[in-house]
A and B are shown apart, each in its own frame.
Chain A
Amino acid sequence: MTRTFRPDNKFPRSADTTQMKIEGLDVHIGASAILKNVNLVIPDKQITCVIGPSGCGKSTLLRSMNRLIDSTEGARIEGRILIGDEDIVHSGEHITELRRRIGLVSQKPSPLPMSIFENVAYGCQIHGIRNRRKLRLVVRHYLEAVGLWDEVAERLHTPASRLSIGQQQRLCLARSLAVEPQFILADEATSALDPIASRNVEELFVRLKNDYSIIMVTHTLRQARRIADHVVFMYLGEVVEAGPAVQVFDDPQHELTKKYLSGAFS
């Protein structure tokens, strides 16, 4: 997808090449350390897959990136997460504006209790866009971007919960894209889907990386192999190894990575 048509210029991108840099990130929940001294560079306009066994802190890492972690009871976050020059951990900017720039696609699709149209328009409306004509353009544009338009054009005003689960997931992606984020966080975004729907969403991510930096937590090594440009392997709250996918998969440097990739543990 090339961005020839931007139906909405309310959300200008600050700079078109912005990478995310994480420096010395520690996250505690209560007394337990979930993330320990995480240092990472998330390359711009690529797919970064975060892999690692359950409980290694992948989701917490993702939830720190848009500060959803704030709503977790007893969570403390230290260190820096930089987008450009801006530290989002200690940002003076209001957190809602920050979150707009970082879209989230969750594991299970979570359509809002409203129509298909309203689901996509929701993000724009909460940021103050009321013009119906403009909203219609935005909705159409992003439903097309996720390949859903032809399937739902005739029933835009029916409840989103009536869509199939694969369609719901693409709808949720369209909803995130509609507020023009720079980053898309995907937390096992295909694990609840059937193989075909899952492949659809995967292909969608590959197309979207021309315009967005995608950070994807996945449990499926094969999926990471298919789509990752960059891989981060985590274990017990620490980044064990990070680098270009080719390097991490074909020539892992660390003993733990080798074991994990060979299936010694999962």
Chain B
Amino acid sequence: MVDGRILKDRAAGGVMRILTITAVLVVVVMAAGLVIKSMPLLESRPLGGLLFSSEWKPLRGEFGFLPFLAGTLWVTAIAIILALPVSLLTAIYLTEYAKPRVRKYVFPMLDILAGLPSVIYGVWGVLLIVPFTGYTLLAGGIVLGVMILPLLVSLLVEIFSTVPDALSEASTSLGATRWQGIKRVVLRKTFPGIVASVVLAVSRALGETIAVLMVCGNLPRVPQSLTDAGYPLPALIANNYGEMLSLPLYEAALMFAALILFTVILLFNVTSRVILYRVEKKFAL
């Protein structure tokens, strides 16, 4: 005899499975949609030319995505290079050095920072960063770095709190200073977690649109230095979608931009997962 509670259990399991499959399917459908919508462009141009040409002249039918791809990668790289050391040290300070009273005030503030809409970061960037840097990649990188900082700090604090007390005490009881223990035990133990946090933060940074768009300059040229203007992929899509769609192939081009972004994030996630898996296996962390 199957009674009511067992039926409910089965129903709950079934519903949750369907919802999970749907969520995964959405991603697949998105990817498929992007591919289909970019087909007109992909059919008429070689893929290599689209990705590695720097000529962006939609009116003449020239679509080279290199400036945007480069802009995206540059801005993200600057952001993570600036934000990672700061957030690592902040998270270490908060978990290992700070008094609970400090933590009590800092954590809610980080949550507020993490929850601010990105347009506010954009405005802040225009008012306070752009006067020093101009509308450049550097400005975009700084604004983006500041934006992902609270996210990174909260993730890293979580990661560092998972280190068992016994492990730090083992190091301490041998006469190690806190800093020695952090360098040789805590950072090593949490390395996979740190990488995973960076992956999340980078994925977030790659897709960030508004704040970067407001300070980056948005010139479709391949940037040669930090002080050049840049034009990341999300900004390209946001700025142009809905306009100029009468141009042949233009919509397909924007869809292809989205597809590139999608692929970059996908590749980045898969690669880092593979690396993580190898590292964890090798060091039995």
Instruction: Write the residues of chain A forming the contact surface with B, with a CB cutoff of 8 angstroms.
Output: 66, 68, 71, 73, 96-100, 102-104, 106, 108, 110, 112-114, 122-123, 126-127, 158-159, 161-162, 172, 175-176, 179
- Shortest Cβ distance from A159 into B: residue: B284
Interface positions of B from 135 to 194, Cβ below 8 Å from A: 164, 166-167, 169-177, 180, 184-185, 188-189
- Shortest Cβ distance from B180 into A: residue: A126
Residue in contact with A112 in the complex, picked from B100, B170, B177, B284, CB distance below 8 Å: B170
Please tell me if the beta carbons of B173 and A104 are within 8 angstroms of each other in the complex: yes
If the complex has contacts A68-B169, A104-B169, A162-B284, are A113 and B174 also in contact, measured as CB distance less than 8 A? no
Listed by A's residue number, 30 A-B pairs whose Cβ atoms lie within 8 Å are A96-B175, A97-B175, A99-B174, A104-B170, A106-B166, A106-B169, A106-B170, A108-B166, A110-B164, A110-B170, A112-B170, A112-B184, A113-B185, A113-B188, A113-B283, A114-B283, A122-B184, A123-B174, A123-B175, A126-B174, A126-B175, A126-B177, A126-B180, A126-B184, A161-B284, A161-B285, A162-B284, A175-B170, A176-B173, A179-B175
Q: For the complex formed, measure the closest distance between the CB of A88 and the CB atoms of chain B, giving whole angstroms.
A: 13
Main secondary structure of the interface of B (DSSP, over half): helix
- Give the most central of B100, B175, B188, B283: most A CB within 10 Å: B175
Q: For the complex formed, measure the closest distance between the CB of B36 and the CB atoms of chain A, giving whole angstroms.
A: 47
- Shortest Cβ distance from A179 into B: residue: B174
Residue in contact with A96 in the complex, picked from B167, B176, B283, CB distance below 8 Å: B176
Across the interface, which residues of B come within 8 angstroms of A68, CB to CB?
169, 172-173
Residue in contact with A100 in the complex, picked from B170, B175, B180, B284, CB distance below 8 Å: B175
Across the interface, which residues of A come within 8 angstroms of B173, CB to CB?
66, 68, 99, 102-104, 176
Across the interface, which residues of B come within 8 angstroms of A179, CB to CB?
174-175
Interface mask (B29-50 → A, CB under 8 Å = 1, otherwise 0):
0000000000000000000000
Across the interface, which residues of B come within 8 angstroms of A108, CB to CB?
166
Q: For the complex formed, measure the closest distance between the CB of A110 and the CB atoms of chain B, giving whole angstroms.
A: 4
If the complex has contacts A108-B166, A112-B167, are A122 and B284 also in contact, measured as CB distance less than 8 A? no
Across the interface, which residues of B come within 8 angstroms of A161, CB to CB?
284-285
Q: For the complex formed, measure the closest distance between the CB of A210 and the CB atoms of chain B, giving whole angstroms.
A: 22
Please tell me if the beta carbons of B170 and A113 are within 8 angstroms of each other in the complex: no
If the complex has contacts A113-B188, A123-B175, A126-B180, are A172 and B284 also in contact, measured as CB distance less than 8 A? no
Complex Cα–Cα for A132 and B183 (A) = 20
Please tell me if the beta carbons of A99 and B185 are within 8 angstroms of each other in the complex: no
If the complex has contacts A73-B100, A112-B185, are A122 and B283 also in contact, measured as CB distance less than 8 A? no
Q: For the complex formed, measure the closest distance between the CB of B250 and the CB atoms of chain A, giving whole angstroms.
A: 53
If the complex has contacts A96-B177, A122-B184, are A112 and B285 also in contact, measured as CB distance less than 8 A? no
Please tell me if the beta carbons of A127 and B175 are within 8 angstroms of each other in the complex: yes
Q: For the complex formed, measure the closest distance between the CB of B191 and the CB atoms of chain A, giving whole angstroms.
A: 9
Across the interface, which residues of A come within 8 angstroms of B100, CB to CB?
73
Please tell me if the beta carbons of B285 and A113 are within 8 angstroms of each other in the complex: yes
- Shortest Cβ distance from B99 into A: residue: A73
User: Known contacts A104-B173, A112-B167; can you find 8 more A-B pairs with CB under 8 A?
Assistant: A66-B173, A100-B174, A100-B175, A112-B185, A122-B171, A126-B174, A127-B175, A162-B284
Complex Cα–Cα for A113 and B191 (A) = 10
Across the interface, which residues of B come within 8 angstroms of A96, CB to CB?
175-177
- Give the most central of A98, A100, A112, A114: most B CB within 10 Å: A112
Complex Cα–Cα for A97 and B173 (A) = 10
Complex Cα–Cα for A110 and B167 (A) = 6
- Shortest Cβ distance from A124 into B: residue: B174
Across the interface, which residues of A come within 8 angstroms of B164, CB to CB?
110
If the complex has contacts A96-B177, A126-B180, A159-B284, are A112 and B171 also in contact, measured as CB distance less than 8 A? yes
Q: For the complex formed, measure the closest distance between the CB of A168 and the CB atoms of chain B, giving whole angstroms.
A: 11
Q: For the complex formed, measure the closest distance between the CB of A249 and the CB atoms of chain B, giving whole angstroms.
A: 30
Across the interface, which residues of B come within 8 angstroms of A122, CB to CB?
171, 174, 176, 184
- Give the most central of B166, B170, B188: most A CB within 10 Å: B170
Q: For the complex formed, measure the closest distance between the CB of B122 and the CB atoms of chain A, giving whole angstroms.
A: 41
- Shortest Cβ distance from B191 into A: residue: A113
Please tell me if the beta carbons of A113 and B189 are within 8 angstroms of each other in the complex: yes
Complex Cα–Cα for A17 and B166 (A) = 30
- Shortest Cβ distance from B173 into A: residue: A104
Complex Cα–Cα for A96 and B173 (A) = 8
Residue in contact with B283 in the complex, picked from A66, A99, A123, A159, CB distance below 8 Å: A159
Interface positions of B from 185 to 217, Cβ below 8 Å from A: 185, 188-189
Across the interface, which residues of A come within 8 angstroms of B184, CB to CB?
112, 114, 122, 126
Please tell me if the beta carbons of A175 and B185 are within 8 angstroms of each other in the complex: no
Q: For the complex formed, measure the closest distance between the CB of B274 and the CB atoms of chain A, giving whole angstroms.
A: 20
Q: For the complex formed, measure the closest distance between the CB of B91 and the CB atoms of chain A, giving whole angstroms.
A: 18
Complex Cα–Cα for A127 and B185 (A) = 15
Complex Cα–Cα for A231 and B175 (A) = 28
- Shortest Cβ distance from B189 into A: residue: A113
